[in-house]
Amino acid sequence: MSASPLARTDAENRQPERAAGTAGRFVWRHTLYLVPGLVIYALFCLWPLAETVRFSFQRWDGITEPRWVGWRNYLAIFTDPQTLTVFGHGLIMIIFYAVLPLLIGLLIVAIMTRIRIRLLAVFRTVLFLPQILATVVVAVAWRWIYAYDGPINALLTAVGLGHLSRAWLGDFDTALNSVGLIGTWINFGLCMVLFIGGAQKIGRELYEAARLDGAGPFQEFMAVTLPGLRGEISIALVLTVTNALRNFDIVWNTTSGGPGTSTLVPSYLIYEGAFITRNVGFAAAASVVLTLLILVLTGVITRALRQRD
Amino acid sequence: MESRKEVVFGHLILVIGAFVALYPFVSVLLQALSPAPGSTAQGLTLENFIAAWTRGGFSRSLFNSALVAISVVVATAVAAVLAGYVLSVLKFKWRVLVFALLMIGLVLPSEARIIPLYNFFSSTGLLNTYWALILPQVASSLPLATFWMANYFSQLPDSLGEAAALDGAGEFQTLRYIYAPLGMSAVMTLSCLIFLYTWNEFMLALVLMPDNVAVQTAPLSLSFFAGNERTTEPEVIAAAAVLVALPVVIAYFLLQRRFMSGLLDGAVK
């Protein structure tokens, strides 16, 4: 992780100049190489971002003249209990999308460090499958699994717990957790693959040294495996936390935020405000807050887990 | 040094994990293959696929998805090779600034640009066209792609470019005949990754091509098709889901090493 592209190009700066001798000088011709990409990037990424920020300070129904309202939309986000609940749901999603898969991955890798894994390539391919399926397909699959006549209830009935069966996505008490568990399913394989790969790069001698010092499996895990996986943990968390806060697709295709507002998440709130209730300024402010939340969280994660070498 | 018990236990855990990872897709596949109520078929049948294909218009939407994804991949790859070359090999003077700008796009969620994109395409009359989905996705794929190529080119020895310069090759010829061919493998991995993201994209498609069945992509069609549960049997919806997933799943199993290294390396950057 420490070798970010920026750091790498900085390092090149210090190397001797190339024989061609164009380095360090501004060459107009070189901008031609950048034009195709940067024009599209500026038009469809940077400019929309700037517009979103501008909208977030306006009151606008998408049709009539927008009105400048200063920070009022932001104020609304942080004072309206309903909106705060929705952002709270976003944070709960982090538990399901990021924390649970991380813990499952770590638990499993703790068991795996002592053995050589057979058929690793096959396991990796299968464990990774949830990552490549379209979210709509995932949603359709899980709607069936959670359905009233679906496999979960069938299993419950089979083991004599039939009274617990219900329409999991349609029940106020279980809908949010059920949606979250889909996220756990999407991401647990990613964590496992990342951590198993990382653990195999940890030197055998570290484990032998730990064992010579009389470390048991738990101490060995804390002293050798966990620090050795710092980079992988950071990658896994950045990916899954981002994933958790942007889970529009799954919610749209399973519960549409319902029943009631029990599975409403920030992305869904933004979509609704922007295109259905036409409260564009508020939706824009919410997307700025969501973006900042993602930026801050991923920033904190990478900083906290940076390898000190 | 590994005990037999640990080996068996460890692999048991992996098998359970693999089962959990496979189960939803396999159960949808089995559901899709079993006869719908009112069908006369016995055992496994393909008639749900035929029903989904004809009723859901998936021939059209799968073609649209392929067209959009391939356009995005090609446009992004060309732009990223050009930009990566000038940023790493030619050491563009303001490259730190360019990298910083691209950094913004790496973490930017679609939510942060969806409203202005909608306004832009609706005011230019491009809403509900392929352009509305291609252009924003080229833009969002570019940061990763450019970092990817710049990083790859910067690992190649400087002597390559110098040798080409001695032979009288200009900068563009050096890219065309030396760097671009050498970078093909990196471009392929990158292309798999962008293809996957573009194929699976849902929110942009929902907002930017909501009303024109002729251009809608497969995930969007599936979402609308599956939303009509009252008129469509679950078996047919399952078949539709398999149809939408299949191209990517097949590509994944054929090119698994590329996908895997792409997804994992992509994360590091």
Tens of pLDDT, residue by residue over A243-263, are: 999 889 999 999 988 898 999
Q: Which of A30, A147, A291 sits opposite B109 (nearest CB)?
A: A291
Chain B: residue nearest A33 by CA?
A: B82
| Residue A4 banded pLDDT, cuts 50, 70, 90 | very low
Give dist(CA A114, CA A97) in Å, integer: 28
Q: Is the pLDDT of residue A163 over 80?
A: yes
Rounded average pLDDT over B111-118: 94
| Least confident stretch, B22-36, B76-90, B230-244 | B230-244
Q: Which residue has the higher pLDDT, A248 or A112?
A: A248
Mean pLDDT for chain A overall: 86
**Residue B269: is its pLDDT beyond 60?**
no
Which residue is closest to A130 within chain B, CA to CA?
A: B21
Q: In whole angstroms, give the CA distance from residue B190 to residue B54.
A: 34
Q: Give the pLDDT band of residue A6 (cuts 50, 70, 90).
A: very low
Lowest mean pLDDT among A108-117, A154-163, B202-211: A108-117
Lowest mean pLDDT among A211-220, B70-79, B82-91: A211-220
**Set of chain A residues whose Cβ sits within 8 Å of the Cβ of B256:** 125, 128
What is the Cα–Cα distance from B243 to B231, expressed in whole angstroms?
A: 19
| CA A140 to chain CA centroid, nearest Å | 21
Which among A31, A136, A194 has CB closest to B202?
A136
- Count of residues making up chain A: 309
**Residue A113's pLDDT is what?**
74
In a domain, B20, yes or no: no
Report the residue of chain B nearest A126, measured CA to CA: B18
Arithmetic mean of pLDDT over chain B: 88
Q: What is the pLDDT of residue A9?
A: 45
Q: Which amino acid, residue B122?
A: S
Name the range with the highest mean pLDDT among A64-78, A87-101, A224-238: A87-101
CB contact under 8 A, B111 and A267: yes
Give the number of other CB atoms < 10 A from CB of residue A309.
Answer: 5
pLDDT > 90? residue A49: yes
Domain ranges of chain A: 32-304
Q: Which residues between 32 and 71 in chain B have a beta carbon less than 8 angstroms from any beta carbon of chain A?
A: none
Residue with tokens 């190009």: A9
Lowest mean pLDDT among A11-25, A111-125, B29-43: A11-25
Q: What is the CATH number of the domain that holds B86?
A: 1.10.3720.10
Cβ separation A27–B135 shorter than 8 A: no
Residue B11 lies in a domain: no
Check residue B90 and give its pLDDT.
Answer: 84
Topology adopted by domain A32-304: MetI-like fold (1.10.3720)
pLDDT of A175 higher than 90: yes
Q: How confident is the model at residue A7 (pLDDT cuts 50, 70, 90)?
A: very low
Report H helices in A28-97.
Answer: 28-41, 47-55, 72-79, 81-94
Question: How many domains does chain B fold into?
Answer: 1
Structure tokens at A301: 């994660």
Question: Which chain A residues have a beta carbon less than 8 Å from that of B151?
Answer: 5, 8
Q: Please list every residue in chain A whose beta carbon sits closer than 8 Å to the beta carbon of residue B105.
A: 41, 45-46
Q: What is the pLDDT of residue A12?
A: 43
Average pLDDT for B95-111: 90
pLDDT category of residue A23 using cuts at 50, 70 and 90 = low
CB contact under 8 A, B252 and A44: no
Alpha-carbon distance of A101 to A184, in angstroms, equals 6
pLDDT value, residue B111: 92
* B193 and chain A in contact, CB less than 8 A: no
Give the per-residue pLDDT at A307: 67
Nearest to A189 by CA among A131, A261, A253, A250: A131
Instruction: Please name which of B250, B185, B62 lies closest in space to residue A132, comparing C-alpha atoms.
Output: B250
Range among A106-120, B120-134, B170-184 rated most confident? B120-134
Rounded CA separation A270/A262 (Å): 16
Residues of B in contact with A40 (CB under 8 A): 75, 79, 135, 138-139, 142
Quote the DSSP letter at residue A221.
I
A41, A57, A106, A249: best to mutate for the B interface, most B CBs within 10 A: A41
Half-sphere exposure of B269 (CA within 13 A, CB side): 27
First to last CA, chain B: 37
Which chain A residues are Cβ-neighbours of B83 within 8 angstroms? 33-34, 36-38
Query: Does residue B105 contact residue B139 with C-beta atoms inside 8 Å?
Result: yes
B266 close contact with A: CB closer than 8 A: no
Would B238 be classed as within a structural domain? yes
Band of pLDDT at residue A1, cut at 50, 70 and 90: very low
- Overall average pLDDT of the B234-238 stretch: 89
Range of the domain at B117: 47-268
Least confident of A145-149, A275-279, B5-9, B57-61: B5-9
Q: Does B44 score more than 90 pLDDT?
A: no
Q: What is the mean pLDDT of residues A85-102?
A: 96
Q: A190-208: per-residue pLDDT in tens?
A: 898 889 888 888 888 888 8
> What's the pLDDT at B231?
66
Taking residues B109-119, what's their average pLDDT?
Answer: 93
**pLDDT for res A30:** 85
Find, in chain A, the residue whose alpha carbon is nearest to that of B108. A291
Sign (positive or negative) of CA dihedral B227, B228, B233, B238: negative
B217 domain-assigned: yes
Of B2, B100, B237, which has the smallest distance from its Cβ to A114's Cβ? B2
Over residues B69-76, mean pLDDT: 97
Say if B250 falls within a structural domain: yes
Is B150 part of any domain?
yes
